[in-house]
A and B are shown apart, each in its own frame.
Chain A
Amino acid sequence: MSIDQHGLDPSADGTAALVAEDRPPRSLLRSLLRNPFAIASLAYILLIVVVAILCPWIAPFPPNKTDLSAVNAPPFTGGHLFGADASGRDILSRLMWGSQQTIIACVLVLTVALILGGISGLIAGYYRGRTEAVASFVSDVAQSLPGIVMLIALYSLIGPNIPAAMAIFGVIVAPSFYRLVRSVVVAVRNELYIDAAKVVGLSDARIVGRHVLSAVRAPVIVQSAFVLATAVAILAGVDFLGLGDPSQPSWGRVLSDAFNNIYTNPANVIWPSLVITLMILSFILLGNALRDTLQASFRSATLRPGRRRTLARSAQDERVAGVNDLTPPQDVILAIRGLKIGYPTSNDEVREVVHGVDLDVRKGEIHGLVGESGSGKSQLAFSTLGILPREAVILGGSIFFEGKDLLADPARMRAARGRKIGYVPQEPMSNLDPSFTIGAQLTHGLRAATGLSKSDARTKLLALLARVGIADPERLMRLYPHEISGGMAQRVLICGAVAADPELIVADEPTTALDVTVQAEVLELLRELSRERGLAMVIVTHNLGVVADICDTVSVMKDGRIVERNDVDTLFAAPADPYTRDLLVSSRQVELMEAEDG
């Protein structure tokens, strides 16, 4: 257990803070109080603070008052609520007086860590360069030793001086604030609104004050709760080990006294253990609650498994009952009927984003699926391959491929995926596994789909890579993704899609991320591949120029519905739906006529 590292979440690098809302303090308290854990934690912490302040008046006994008649008294006897220890001292009183030391330690650790770590993180993150290199090195060094070891070494110097030890512990914990603040500042610095502020001429101080600090505030508050949890644990630990002042009452010392006495009076360890653990737990729960409130992460709602099963079952019942069966004509390779896709908005509710879509793709046809962002076109594409995100729910409908419904039998979907239906993704670089060579991942894919031997797969891939326009396929197979360009990566992905000789390719915006000259070449390649192999294609795009270039048939999608479908010449010449017309008008405004020969 890493006692110095409560809540140091490696993913809490501050980027969540950038998309989070920054609420004014009043409503923060209100939303926090809606969380029962937060209420309990705040209550307990407040209780300890109150006890620490009022203990001279409310503690039943002075902390060091010994009473030989009460030695090892069990709880609830003779005015000792928690019993008495081996010297006859009242445990409850000692714990109450000990809370003073705890509160002071918390304040010390947090203040030192925050000021030291926060300010250095701010400067290092904003100015970078050598300042950052030095500060990061120091921070790494400070983090490389367990805090407790340093405190033990420190004891030789300062003796049983708890406030000094806690201040030093603040220095030891400062790197956690340094790292957090630095990463938030670095991320914020790259935001365009900082550039806009610079163009306006705001001084660095003003930029930091107005923009950077507001981004840093939330994660620092969350981290503070976890640092306080660590402070309590370390303080009690130091006292427990006997490195504290024996004349001062402290939670750790009460614990160690009780532990040394565990055979005679085992029950005595319960009280200090409870008090310490509850305090640490409160800070941790408070930190989690603060994180949930301040850094509203956009984790999508998860559907209850039972609800998901019910929805799946009713969709399947419909399929079995043949509700969607309109026997598609012979030459239609893909026929989507009444497809409904939704995403959960809560445990029980699902919002439909694709509302009963029909789509036909004939053998060898290149079918364009056009729509703007949010139209649902990518959802449709993913559903044919069964690669929708985990949260998605298919609420109904069928996907007939070569006459059989893929949704009715998951085994059919698995058999078709990769083997009969290939996928070309949008973003070339992020769709290649960075840990494997190009050759390795292409081979894995091909062998998984076809069961070819390693050498057969390799031969086939080499030929295919040459076909898609790679100059030196042998060399490329040995390279890693980070060593190739975007255009090459897209060709590799096309190769991977086509390698198993599928009947249908589903391409999700295959050229959007490419330069226009590369786009033209890739479109040419796709067209040629389709003609050579009789491949049908579904090309998802928002670019009507691409559609005009390569597609035979077009379906236009808006808000989860197909509003128009036609062959490409008719659709462009005489669009029926007003939305299609709007799209065409907007597209034509930004296009070029053919160049005159110059």
Chain B
Amino acid sequence: MAEPLLSVTDLVVRYGGRRGGKTVIDGVSLDLNAGETVSLVGESGSGKTTIGRAILGLAPVTGGTIQFRGQKIDNIPRSRRRQIARDLQVIFQDPYSSLNPSMTVESILAEPLRAAGVTAGRDRVRELLDAVGLPADAGRRYPREFSGGQRQRIAIARALALEPSVIVCDEPTSALDVTTQARVLALLADIQKATGVAYLFISHDLGVVHAISDRIAVLNSGQIVELGDARQIVSRPQHPYTRRLLMAAPVADPPRQRAKRAQRLALLQRDAPEEPAAPHDAVA
């Protein structure tokens, strides 16, 4: 069994110092192997985004380790990040904020290339635009001239520039319309088929990830409550929280949704005594 590309062990992320601090991630461990898609699913406040940011070096690691290709990457200096950047990239949620509005698309795509010391040829940029289904002349234009879905494609192209082996996708389709979302997910699947890149896919929506994931980790309040094969999690969830998540997402089919709703209500009554108070009803 090959060593995992990315390995997170007992990760702890804590903000705010000793008194009155907040533990956002409380002992999370997971692995990502080459070519696979592992999804992190959780609601707001679960810590899923923080895990992604810690892996990318955007959040400080208080405890535990993160290893990439066997090397420690938690709390390393920026210069070391540059070396890893060729291999570990990111796509963010907000297509409006993730592209600098005053740079042309071409310079946005060339930036990672230049940072890695690769000559950013026009051809390479055109290649990338092509890979995400954007016209060749898009390079000369500015982000504001594109729709949300198109901007997200530009962000994907930027992530692909250095041919990484792992891309952290931080809710890449949450801000998009449902038809655009479907197309972007299809694009991500195609890219994985063509390049063999591995995805760490972060989402609040089990529905979005279940079709594209190999394995799913369900997060609640900074801890993984369930981790396993995607199909199994979705069809035979073990943990009550996972069950709640599954049952709560409505399906676009009235008769099936009616059945699902009945099932959910029955489940709630059955699980009710074991449930802790729903965290989102607490006073802030």
Contacts and interface: CB of A to CB of B under 8 A. Distances in A.
Q: Do A's and B's CB atoms come within 8 Å in the complex?
A: yes
A590 to B, nearest CB: 5
Contacts of A546: 250
A199 interface: yes
Contact of A515 (B102, B260, B280, B284): B280
A373 interface: yes
Nearest to A202: B115
B126 interface: no
A484 B282 CA distance: 8
A201 interface: yes
A393 B84 CA distance: 54
Contacts of B64: none
Contacts of B253: 548, 572, 588
Contacts of A520: 247-248, 250, 264
Contacts of A486: 44, 280
Which of A20, A543, A583, A594 counts the most chain B CB atoms within 10 A? Answer: A594
A372 B179 CA distance: 8
Contact of B97 (A193, A204, A471, A592): A193
Interface string A194-206: 0111111111101
Interface in A213-228: 214-215
A192 B92 CA distance: 7
A309 interface: no
Contact of A545 (B93, B235, B252): B252
Q: How large is the interface on A (under 10, 10 to 19, 20 to 34, 35 or more residues)?
A: 35 or more
Nearest to B100: A193
A217 B36 CA distance: 44
B92 to A, nearest CB: 4
B51 to A, nearest CB: 15
Contacts of A191: 97-98, 100
B57 to A, nearest CB: 7
A589 interface: yes
A413 B35 CA distance: 59
A591 B211 CA distance: 9
Nearest to B113: A200
Given A18-B101, A192-B97, A595-B246, A201 B252 contact: no
B81 A201 contact: yes
A592 B207 contact: yes
A473 B122 CA distance: 63
Given A193-B100, A196-B98, A200-B115, A590 B85 contact: no
Contacts of A586: 178-179, 181-182
Contact of A595 (B92, B207, B208, B247): B247
Interface stretch (B14-22, B26-34, B128-136, B236-244): B236-244
Contacts of A20: 101
Q: Main SS of chain A's interface residues?
A: helix
Contact of B283 (A479, A517, A545): A479
B44 to A, nearest CB: 6
Given A199-B89, A201-B78, A485-B282, A22 B250 contact: no
Nearest to B53: A195
A545 B257 contact: yes
A517 B111 contact: no
Nearest to A511: B250
Given A586-B178, A586-B181, A193 B98 contact: yes
Q: Main SS of chain B's interface residues?
A: helix
Contacts of B254: 548, 568-569, 572
Given A583-B178, A589-B182, A199 B207 contact: no
Which of B182, B243, B245, B254 counts the most chain A CB atoms within 10 A? Answer: B254
B17 to A, nearest CB: 13
A186 B194 CA distance: 39
B120 to A, nearest CB: 12
A587 B178 contact: yes
A292 interface: no
A584 B252 contact: yes
A545 B97 contact: no
Interface string A572-590: 1000000000111111111
Contacts of A193: 97-100, 108
Contacts of A517: 43, 244-245, 248, 278, 280
Nearest to A517: B248
B2 to A, nearest CB: 25
A211 interface: yes
A523 B260 CA distance: 14
B90 A22 contact: no
A549 interface: yes
A544 B237 contact: no
A181 B88 CA distance: 33
Interface in B109-130: 111-112, 115-116
Interface string B249-280: 11111111101110110000000000000101
Contacts of A523: 250
A596 B185 CA distance: 26
A352 B119 CA distance: 48
Nearest to B183: A586
A592 B210 contact: yes
A204 B78 CA distance: 8
B235 A595 contact: yes
A134 interface: no
Contacts of B155: 196
A487 interface: yes
B69 interface: no
A582 B217 CA distance: 30
A64 B116 CA distance: 66
Interface in A476-497: 479, 482-488
Contacts of A215: 102
B214 interface: no
Nearest to A470: B281
B261 A373 contact: no
A547 interface: yes
A117 B252 CA distance: 57
A256 interface: no
Interface in A499-546: 515-520, 523, 542-546
B138 interface: no
A194 to B, nearest CB: 9
Given A545-B257, A598-B236, A201 B84 contact: yes
A593 interface: yes
Contacts of B238: 598
A198 B57 contact: yes
Contacts of A373: 148, 177
A19 interface: yes
Contacts of A547: 252
Contacts of A590: 178, 181-182, 185, 205, 207-208, 211
Interface string A14-37: 000011111000000000000000
Contacts of A593: 234-235, 251, 256
B235 A591 contact: no
Which of B90, B282, B283 counts the most chain A CB atoms within 10 A? Answer: B283
9 contacts: A192-B94, A193-B108, A199-B58, A203-B79, A485-B283, A517-B278, A520-B264, A543-B178, A582-B179
Given A202-B111, A485-B282, A520-B248, 9 more contacts: A191-B98, A198-B56, A200-B112, A201-B83, A201-B85, A515-B204, A545-B252, A584-B252, A593-B251
Interface of A: 18-22, 191-193, 195-204, 206, 210-211, 214-215, 372-373, 469, 471, 479, 482-488, 515-520, 523, 542-549, 568-569, 572, 582-596, 598
Q: List 3 A-B pairs, minimum CB-CB distance, nearest first.
A: A201-B82, A545-B250, A22-B102
